[in-house]
Amino acid sequence: DTGVSQDPRHKITKRGQNVTFRCDPISEHNRLYWYRQTLGQGPEFLTYFQNEAQLEKSRLLSDRFSAERPKGSFSTLEIQRTEQGDSAMYLCASSPSSGVGELFFGEGSRLTVL
């Protein structure tokens, strides 16, 4: 069990550029979640997948944000035309599909938009 891994850990970009984050969940976990966290706040839910199906998207996920999990394994979160307000920590988590339980978080990808 290598845990949830995220890449890159840090990304600095200029406003208007596109960025993509990758998340590799724990291999036997069918559910995958994306959260965003800003300083002094708890993680805010963005979206989640059951296998390759995206089951829900938060209203926080504007049209500039898109998430995919094409084969039900790794996932990508893309932000197009970044804005300074997108600066945050983007956290990925996974969990088994059987009922109630904990989320296993990665270490996050910190985005800074200049």
Partner 1 sequence: SQKIEQNSEALNIQEGKTATLTCNYTNYSPAYLQWYRQDPGRGPVFLLLIRENEKEKRKERLKVTFDTTLKQSLFHITASQPADSATYLCALDTSGGYNKLIFGAGTRLAVHP
Show the CA angle centred on residue 21, arms to residues 17 and 27, nearest 5°.
170
**Count of C-beta atoms within a 10 Å radius of residue 22:** 14
- Point out which span in 19-27, 60-68, 73-81, 95-103 binds partner 1 (CB under 8 A): 95-103
- Binding of residue 25 to partner 1 (CB under 8 A): no
Instruction: Give whole-number Cα distances, 82 to 49, 54, 60, 86, in Å.
Output: 23, 22, 14, 6
Encoded one letter per residue, x for contact with partner 1 by CB under 8 A and - for no contact, window 54-93 reads: -xx----------------------------------x-x
- Binding of residue 50 to partner 1 (CB under 8 A): yes
Query: Which residues, in sequence order, are bridge partners of residue 44?
Result: 36
Nearest residue (CB) to partner 1, 5 versus 80: 5
What residues make contact with partner 1 under the rule CB under 8 A? 4, 31, 33, 35, 40-45, 48, 50, 55-56, 91, 93, 95, 99-108, 110
